[in-house]
Structure 1
Amino acid sequence: MKKIGLTLLTAFVGGAMALGTYKVIESKYADNLSFEDKQKVYFTSNPSAPVVSSTGALDFTEAAAAVTPAVVYIRTTYSSQSGSSGQDQFEQMFGDMFGQRVRPQGPQMASGSGVIISNDGYIVTNNHVVEKADKITVATNDHRTFQAKVIGTDPSTDLALIKISATDLPIVKLGNSDDARVGEWVLAVGNPFNLNSTVTAGIISAKGRNIGIIGSEDNQDQSNPFGRTRNQQTTPKLNKAIESFIQTDAAINPGNSGGALVNTKGELIGINAAIASHTGSYEGYGFAIPVNLAKKVLNDIKKYGTVKRGFVGVSFTELNPDVAQKLNINNTTGLYVNDLVEGGGAEAAGIQKGDIIEKVEGVPVYESSDLQEHVGRLQPGDKVNMTVLRDGKEKTFAVTLKADANPTGTRTAAVSKSAEELFNKLGASFQPLSPAQKAKFHVNSGVVVTQVREGRVFDSFEIPVGSIITSINKSPINSVADIDKVITNLRNGNLVISGYYPDGTNFNNMFQVQ
């Protein structure tokens, strides 16, 4: 009995020490952890009964109960100047299929959804939900409201990371979208038509869908199922759009954008982003961004203020029987290499024009999304093994991904009293200066601009990515927290931003706050 008691005591002490260690890590190093690691700490420190798959009995109550508290309602407000531009562009691109929009007199409004992924207030949503918004209001499931600021956006995947000032928030557990299977039951949770905390059920209809909706030009066909039928103007095409959607028949409607797609264990496997519909409402075809792609994007935004993306350096055409016939080749699957970027990773590895990309890391490539999603999760400098068919023989090349030589960032002002709103008006993301950068610019303080969003203050003043902000209103700036402090205590209605352009030329711009 003494031996058993000693064993139990040892186990208890060991468990307590483990939990204590996690608490120390959580308090001391939490800000440097990835969202996935932070969640591991959270769920280890806050154990709860696991949500088991309920597909056998077709009972989704446990999964819905686990997820609903962490899905938020997002309302965005646009000033007359920026709102009309942002709203019209949104409607040109997406019609009414993403967010519930109204046109009252005065400021324009829109709404969508978001998912809390960190208990200290980080929320994932769609870029198009918050793009160009002056004011972002977040309503939680327990009816609290917060003002949110945009930490960063990634138009290439239509993702955005925003933050509210709150603690001990409920979160949705990040799942593994690679494990999701066609035919698997899923739940869509969001706020369609302003109906808060709505849960719908369906199955995964397909994976790896590339529907050409991110950054694509408007389709002039009025029967276009993706809803781009409001007018015939076009929008610039993003040349780095990454699409590999999870398709589902769970009901998704206007306002669901940025909401959660979860499996029956209550794990987040996708961020709802689009529907295919002739009417702008549910017709059985919804699309979500895979969470495994979102993890990389969100962690990069939090850590660097922008997404560090590696590129293979090829342009290609998806093969099918018609394309193969035009190219006079026998292969009807894979990606035909049309051209190479000079100095790019593919050229350096030995890939040539006319090669057919058949596999990435040994996995067959049938569509562009098979390549794009895999590479989209990697960083510049990472290696990826690509198998190509050349002269009837397979060859495998280790391609080192290169950084984008011309990052688009998203280059890509009257302000309210809200600090979050003013931060959003600035329209930039920042990262503290390294000692080397301080030495280069001969400054003792500063942050580097890592992203500039179109139509905001930094864009208007032509302060580009790579610029150094040394002070605001003569207060030294070394972090985002310093920026928050200055704009929170703004008194005289003027915002003076000082710093250096990437070429070393200094600037001193004043912005009038109304």
Structure 2
Amino acid sequence: MKKILTLVFVSVIGGLLTLGGYKLFIEEEQAQLVSESNNTQLPIYLPTSTNNNTVLTNTERPDLISAANKTIDAVVHVKNTQINRSPQTWGDLFSGRSPERKQLAGAGSGVIISPDGHIITNNHVIKGAVEISITLNDNRTYMAELVGADSKNDIALLKIDTQEELPFVAFGDSDSTQIGEWVLAVGNPFNLTSTVTAGIISAKSRDLSGGQSFIQTDAAVNPGNSGGALVNVNGELVGINTAISSQTGSYVGYSFAVPSNIARKIVEDIMEFGDVQDGILGVTGLALNSEAAKELNVDITEGFYVSGIEEKSGADLAGLNEGDIIRRLDNIEVNKFSDLSGYLKTKSPNDVVNVEVLRNGDLKTIPVTLTKRDDIYVEFMDIQFRDIPENVKKEYPDTYDSGALVLENKNQFLAQKVGIRRNYVITAINGNKIESTKDIRKLYDQYGNDFNENLRSIEFIDTYGEKKEIIFR
């Protein structure tokens, strides 16, 4: 019994010694550690989304099959036949044979836009053709008549005669299209008829060559697609496939289409007037960016800065001022020049456009009635003329008292051989003094645009203010 009591007593004493040592040494050290940890910085947490619903949910897919079925029978194969003028051989001379023969020069696509056989395509597809043939999706072939064309916007209108109504594609509203929206490109690349490719709209108002306004898409487009349809998921025509950006000549990820609103307006003008009726706002200037904003001492980097107003234009009559920054036309935001030029291409003379401008820090909306190009400009010999601005006459009365100012010169002979270009002033033609564009109009009324054969001399003032005369023999 004594041994048991001794063992219990020793155990109790050992437990008390252990507990006392823990309290004295171990617990104090842990308290010091906790105290030190409270002085350290807490971890930094960044906001992070844990929502994975977008990965796993079944979203509604666009009905591309329906869009393709609505379009494919209304897209045609366009073939351009030209005259091949081969050099004459001695045998041709003695036998009286003609070396001229018809030859297929190129092919592209077209879109039937009315049941009576009107077809829209690119101007470059049918340029120079003596015969234009149209092959429908069911392999029927017709000869087409060229109704009219607009080389500036690369649009042409054709017509075929048929006894039955044809399938056609209705125009959609290209202004309402959105970046990221699904589209189909339908055409005949590499002579592979009835080809459909899909993609999204990558950008809008894309300018490739100055003043253009294309829809950019990543739907595959190759040679032969030109003139074909770009349609939305409803099968509505939102663009005419026109160009690709490529170093190889084939598709590498970017293709471009003339917006349907521009194409429709051109077609309507050709049908009604025989040519395109441009509505002119009458402003000159530049699109803003960081560099331009700094140079002009303005606070914004988007919009169109007005540096000049054409006299007698809609902008002039409505009260737009130099220094205004155009931010919006109707419901279209203007962030670059192609936004402005593209929207104006859908308008006609006498249309009213609400122009929102930033003036002295305040936004103002000014209704502007667009004017005719002929009221401001004159086309003659493939040169675009306008009157010399009054402020230029006042500043340089001895040099620019009269004449017609060159705005654009597409006459290759006068541009390359003579060197006449933008901002030159024509003062006399064939010895007849040119006081203003009225004298240019008189020559146009008398001779038409084809005046090169009648041109004997031309006097002009170059951009250095030097007066020159060229005599043609």
TM-score range, shorter chain: 0.5 to 0.7
Among candidates 349, 362, 367, match of residue 336 of structure 2: 367
Among candidates 166, 171, 184, match of residue 169 of structure 1: 166
1:310–1:172 distance in 2 versus 1, CA, 3 Å: same
Q: 1:186 offset after TM fit, Å?
A: 1.1
Q: 1:323 offset after TM fit, Å?
A: 1.5
Q: Could you tell me which residue of structure 2 aligns to residue 383 of structure 1?
A: 352
Alignment of structure 1 residues 279-428 onto 2, 5 Å: 279-405=248-374, 406=377, 408=379
In 2, distance between residues paired with 1:79 and 1:341?
Answer: 44
In 2, distance between residues paired with 1:320 and 1:299?
Answer: 36
Q: 1:201 offset after TM fit, Å?
A: 0.7
Task: State the Cα deviation string for residues 205-239 of structure 1 (Å, max 9, x = none).
Answer: 11221222xxx6xxxxxxxxxxxxxxxxxxxxxxx
Q: Answer yes or no: is the 8 Å Cα contact 1:184–1:203 preserved in 2.
A: yes
1:503–1:163 distance in 2 versus 1, CA, 3 Å: same
Alignment of structure 1 residues 191-202 onto 2, 5 Å: 191-202=188-199
Q: 1:154 offset after TM fit, Å?
A: 1.5
For residue 358 of structure 2, give the secondary structure of its aligned residue in structure 1.
Answer: strand
Q: Could you tell me which residue of structure 2 aligns to residue 209 of structure 1?
A: 206
In 2, distance between residues paired with 1:136 and 1:407?
Answer: 32
1:275–1:172 distance in 2 versus 1, CA, 3 Å: same
Among candidates 181, 184, 187, match of residue 184 of structure 2: 187
Q: Does 1:60 align with 2:52?
A: no
In 1, distance between residues paired with 2:75 and 2:380?
Answer: 28
Q: Could you tell me which residue of structure 2 aligns to residue 72 of structure 1?
A: 76
In 2, distance between residues paired with 1:411 and 1:145?
Answer: 36
Aligned residue pairs: how many?
A: 318
Task: State the Cα deviation string for residues 479-500 of structure 1 (Å, max 9, x = none).
Answer: xxxxxxxxxxxxxxxxxxxxxx
Q: 1:116 offset after TM fit, Å?
A: 0.2
1:56–1:307 distance in 2 versus 1, CA, 3 Å: same
Could you say which structure has the larger radius of gyration?
2
Instruction: Point out where structure 2 has 5 or more consecutive residues left out of the alignment.
Output: 1-58, 87-99, 384-410, 413-442, 449-473
Task: State the Cα deviation string for residues 364-391 of structure 1 (Å, max 9, x = none).
Answer: 3101222222222221111111122222
Q: 1:250 offset after TM fit, Å?
A: 0.5
Q: 1:312 offset after TM fit, Å?
A: 0.4
In 2, distance between residues paired with 1:392 and 1:202?
Answer: 41
In 2, distance between residues paired with 1:318 and 1:264?
Answer: 33
- The aligned amino acid for 2:76 is V
In 2, distance between residues paired with 1:409 and 1:119?
Answer: 38
Q: Answer yes or no: is the 8 Å Cα contact 1:358–1:364 preserved in 2.
A: yes
Q: Could you tell me which residue of structure 1 aligns to residue 119 of structure 2?
A: 123
Q: 1:174 offset after TM fit, Å?
A: 2.1
Alignment of structure 1 residues 12-51 onto 2, 5 Å: none
In 2, distance between residues paired with 1:79 and 1:404?
Answer: 36
Q: 1:78 offset after TM fit, Å?
A: 2.1
In 1, distance between residues paired with 2:341 and 2:331?
Answer: 15
For residue 79 of structure 1, give the secondary structure of its aligned residue in structure 2.
Answer: strand
In 2, distance between residues paired with 1:314 and 1:81?
Answer: 46
Q: Answer yes or no: is the 8 Å Cα contact 2:380–2:444 preserved in 1.
A: no
For residue 142 of structure 1, give the secondary structure of its aligned residue in structure 2.
Answer: coil
Q: 1:155 offset after TM fit, Å?
A: 2.1
Q: Answer yes or no: is the 8 Å Cα contact 2:84–2:101 preserved in 1.
A: no
1:185–1:307 distance in 2 versus 1, CA, 3 Å: same
Q: Answer yes or no: is the 8 Å Cα contact 2:120–2:156 preserved in 1.
A: yes
In 2, distance between residues paired with 1:341 and 1:282?
Answer: 41
1:330–1:299 distance in 2 versus 1, CA, 3 Å: same
- The aligned amino acid for 1:251 is A
Task: State the Cα deviation string for residues 452-507 of structure 1 (Å, max 9, x = none).
Answer: xx99xxxxxxxxxxxxxxxxxxxxxxxxxxxxxxxxxxxxxxxxxxxxx985899x
- The aligned amino acid for 2:368 is V
Identity of aligned residues (%): 48
Q: Could you tell me which residue of structure 2 aligns to residue 149 of structure 1?
A: 145
- The aligned amino acid for 1:404 is R
- The aligned amino acid for 1:391 is N
1:128–1:409 distance in 2 versus 1, CA, 3 Å: farther
Q: Could you tell me which residue of structure 2 aligns to residue 109 of structure 1?
A: 105
Q: Could you tell me which residue of structure 2 aligns to residue 423 of structure 1?
A: none
For residue 66 of structure 2, give the secondary structure of its aligned residue in structure 1.
Answer: helix
- The aligned amino acid for 1:387 is E
Task: State the Cα deviation string for residues 36-94 of structure 1 (Å, max 9, x = none).
Answer: xxxxxxxxxxxxxxxxxxx9346522221221111001110222369xxxxxxxxxxxx
In 2, distance between residues paired with 1:394 and 1:81?
Answer: 61
In 1, distance between residues paired with 2:120 and 2:128?
Answer: 16
In 2, distance between residues paired with 1:329 and 1:156?
Answer: 33
Q: Answer yes or no: is the 8 Å Cα contact 1:357–1:387 preserved in 2.
A: yes
